[in-house]
Chains A and B, each alone.
Chain A
Amino acid sequence: MTDVPAILLDGTAIGRAVSRLAHQILERDRAVEQLVLVGVRSRGVQLAHRIARKIEELAGRIVPVGAIDITPYRDDVEEPRDRIEGPETDVAFSIDDAVVVLVDDVLSTGRTVRVALDVLGGLGRPHAIQVAVLVDRGNREVPIRADFVGQNVPDTEARRVHVRVRELDGRDEVALV
């Protein structure tokens, strides 16, 4: 066990991972017309925008990008209530019948995605919801799976994965801290 952060992905590797995610999404969801991306605040939103730009490059189509904030619904508080939308939720398009790709930086227990499914359910009835994550750590506490994964980083040690993105943190980096 060391205190020195280990860099798992640098800027170039993150760029490659985003590109790979965009390719995988296009491969699975050929009908780009139905595709929308929704990022989980905060870093999921930045990643969603990057994936959307890559899809636009590859398929020549603009994919709508929205954002949801699940902070108010975190279940580490007593008496959780299934409310519908978060204050910072910004999905300015209909998700009815859409294929929604939910984008987040790290998937671990699955609790965040479970809440996000409820939030999206309050916004409309999509045809399907898929999950794209930059890093999947395993360690599920809820039966949630990722459809698209940039990098698997098994949760074998008690170190946390820290994702930094240049838009918010000044640099792109995934580190074990």
Chain B
Amino acid sequence: MSRHVLAIADLSDEEIDSILRRTEEMEAALETRDAGQIPKSAAGRIMATLFYEPSTRTRLSFEAAMWRLGGAVIGASDMKSSSASKGETLADTAKVVSSYADVLVLRHFWDGAARVAAEHADVPLINAGDGSHEHPTQTLCDLYTLKRAKGTLRGITVAIGGDLKRGRTAHSLVRALARFKANIVIIPARGMEFPDWLLQKVAEEYGYRPTVARPGDLKALARDVNALYLAPARPHQLTLFTDTEFDLEERLAEAEPITLDALYMTRPQRERRDDTTDDGVEYLRIDTDTFQDPAMRHTVLMHPLPRTGEISSALDRDPRALYFRQAASGVPVRMALVEMVLAERVGREVAVPAARAERGAMRIGPRCANPNCITRREPVQSERRFRFHRERVGRAHLVCLYCDHETRIQVIGNRKSKHFHVYEEPMYGYLDAWLRDDALVIFDTVKQAEEAAYKSYKLGPQKSIMTAQEIERAIAELTDAILRDTRELKDLVIVGVRMAGAFLAHRIVERIHALRGAAVDLGVLDVQGGGDVIPRWPGTPATEGSNVTIANRHVVIVDDVINSGWTAKDALSCVWRAGRPLSARLAVLIDRGHRQLPIKPTYVGKHLPTAPHERVRVRLRELDREHRDRVVIYSYVDPKAAA
């Protein structure tokens, strides 16, 4: 078993203290400029660096650290030139490369990527930043710099400003500071606040909520405020205000003036927003004026770099500006960390939840709500993808084990009875009981539950509403309508939504072949799977590769039933991820109405208005035990009535 460092939480307090102490020793050894003074604790070992995103400081400092420790480095700085460009999954890359090296260092643009790679690597993996999620080694540099400047972390006050929504360095830092009992003031640019999942995690883990300020508060501080006041509501719960506020006297009664020990600035994460402007966003910018205020006398200024105008270069010579020292600490910090993970003994408990028997992990999980989560981009083999977070009895949601985002519970199933029910708060007791019984399964949609062969809890009587002949006739009419609207069959690609939609799409393509003698491309779309490609129908001669081409073609998405429209919306998103089509049309066998989204199918086999508690199930011969086509309708029965 390997020891991975995927998040700052993977390191205990003692381990962090030990790494910081060892960093000091490494730094002292490096300062002697005598190679003989530097421990060669990685002699004969190899580090592989996998960087899917541009990086200067992080990659070079990891590589320098490994060389300094007497080891060697292999890797690709641009993974676009690697097998990833041929469609190799991150999981496979991690598995293969871990057979070449003793330690992996990964940077990736998807949240949770580090955990997926660690699950497949046979050697320790260090997260060098995954999407907007975590960047634990940068946090170690930050903690080391802070501790050296202030002598301690406990009780110091740190303001963190800038793009806190997507800044992974800030995400890791706030958790570490909360853990070491520092006071945190957050100064986000408007619209760039810390995500809820992070604040909830900090509250859950440390019973702590950071104080929120606005960029203007700090500007006021620089202009005409003599002190910044923090009023503890209870230990570790602070309220920030400045003496520009008019109810000051009242509030001063309980407050004590403080000065900021550190101001930690971050840059706007443009690469995570596909954006090139910050027009209209009030972004905190630090210049010599800000730092002239007496209240900032002892405030050190930090930044993970690169900076993009948040800190004036006029401050570079100010002894309080520590950002270059922060960057320089990258090598000794990473030397200490690499030494630690390489020294870990085989058999130690792994830090990857997927490898732990974690109560509340599920065998079949829904899809993470975070569109940038790796689990939406690559098939994840682990059965455990979520943990439960209980706010209180009756309220529970899921937290993704990979990216920490929250996902609402939609449909719960019982693995033993193979029944499901739409989740509502009053059903919490069932959820809890089934979880304790190791029988809980959670689905995103009723359709997903049905396709996993689960039945509605105590199914009501079923009534047939479409015969095999009616279904065939509807498919023929859908096909004819698609052909009427299609000029060139070579520009057409038909994409079926798994499962029943894919078989309907297959029948449409076969009918087109029978009518026109032409083969039309057929893809199978899994809205639960994610990924940026749409695979071809299995068994199709793959003359143009294993995936259908979407770009510059007319796409027809085929599904069996449309109701709320969420599945169709997800299918459209998947199509656009795979390329830019000339157009997209939607063909459904049955339209139930009850739309929650502004989706209108282009072709409908049958309009069938139904009540919300009713379910319509398309049973096709390819998927049916009795090998016959039919459409049935039935009603839900509350599981309480089934007891």
Contacts and interface: CB of A to CB of B under 8 A. Distances in A.
A60 interface: no
A128 B576 CA distance: 22
Contact of B600 (A76, A80, A141, A143): A143
Interface in A112-150: 113-114, 117-118, 121-122, 125, 127-131, 141-147
B573 A118 contact: yes
Contacts of B598: 102, 113, 117, 129-131, 144-147
A130 B371 CA distance: 21
Interface size range on A against B? 35 or more
Contacts of B369: 125
Contacts of A102: 598
User: Looking at B274, B370, B408, B598, which has the most chain A CB atoms within 10 Å of its CB?
Assistant: B598
Contacts of A78: 580
B280 A142 contact: no
B584 A141 contact: yes
A85 B595 CA distance: 24
A81 B277 CA distance: 18
B576 A80 contact: yes
A82 B577 contact: yes
B191 interface: yes
Interface in B562-615: 568-569, 572-573, 576-577, 580, 582-586, 595-602
Interface secondary structure of B, over-half rule: loop
Interface stretch (A5-13, A15-23, A87-95, A152-160): A87-95
Contact of A141 (B191, B281, B582, B596): B582
A86 interface: yes
User: Looking at A75, A96, A122, A142, which has the most chain B CB atoms within 10 Å of its CB?
Assistant: A142
B278 interface: yes
A145 B371 contact: no
Contacts of A113: 598
Interface in B262-305: 272-275, 277-281
Given A87-B273, A90-B191, A129-B598, A142 B583 contact: yes
Nearest to B272: A83
Contact of B190 (A84, A90, A114, A128): A90
Contact of A118 (B190, B273, B371): B371
Given A72-B273, A89-B191, A118-B371, A82 B600 contact: no
A69 B139 CA distance: 32
A118 B597 CA distance: 12
Interface residues of B, number: 37
B374 to A, nearest CB: 14
Nearest to A148: B598
B273 A83 contact: yes
A110 B600 CA distance: 11
A83 B372 contact: yes
Contact of B274 (A83, A114, A141): A83
A88 B280 contact: yes
Contacts of B596: 127-129
A82 B596 CA distance: 21
Interface string A26-64: 000000000000000000000000000000000000000
Nearest to B596: A128
A82 B597 CA distance: 19
A116 to B, nearest CB: 10
Contacts of B273: 72, 83, 85-87
Contacts of A82: 371, 573, 576-577
Contacts of A144: 598-600
B572 A86 contact: no
A75 B275 contact: no
Given A72-B273, A75-B580, A87-B277, A143 B573 contact: no
B599 A143 contact: yes
B580 A129 contact: no
B532 to A, nearest CB: 9
A154 B281 CA distance: 38
Contacts of B602: 143
A76 B580 CA distance: 8
A121 B569 contact: yes
B597 A84 contact: no
Nearest to A127: B596
Nearest to A142: B584
Given A83-B273, A87-B275, A144-B599, A75 B371 contact: no
A128 B597 contact: yes
Nearest to A116: B598
A131 B599 CA distance: 10
Nearest to A131: B598
A122 B197 CA distance: 13
Contact of A72 (B274, B370, B372, B597): B274
A168 to B, nearest CB: 14
Interface in B460-519: none
Contacts of B408: 96, 125
B391 to A, nearest CB: 13
Contacts of B281: 87
Nearest to A125: B408
A121 B566 CA distance: 10
B371 A121 contact: yes
Nearest to A83: B274
A150 to B, nearest CB: 15
Contacts of A73: 274
Nearest to B372: A84
B584 A72 contact: no
A117 B595 CA distance: 14
Contact of B583 (A118, A125, A141): A141
B113 to A, nearest CB: 15
A130 B565 CA distance: 11
A145 B600 CA distance: 6
Contacts of B576: 75, 80, 82, 114
Contacts of A131: 598
Contacts of A76: 580
Nearest to B603: A143
A118 B272 CA distance: 16
Nearest to A94: B196
Contacts of B597: 117, 128-129
Given A87-B273, A143-B586, A80 B580 contact: yes
Contacts of B280: 88
A56 to B, nearest CB: 24
A171 to B, nearest CB: 23
B485 to A, nearest CB: 12
18 contacts: A72-B273, A73-B274, A80-B576, A81-B274, A82-B371, A82-B576, A84-B370, A102-B598, A117-B598, A118-B573, A121-B371, A122-B371, A127-B596, A141-B584, A143-B599, A143-B602, A145-B599, A146-B598
Given A85-B273, A142-B583, 8 more contacts: A83-B272, A83-B274, A87-B191, A90-B191, A114-B576, A122-B371, A141-B582, A141-B583
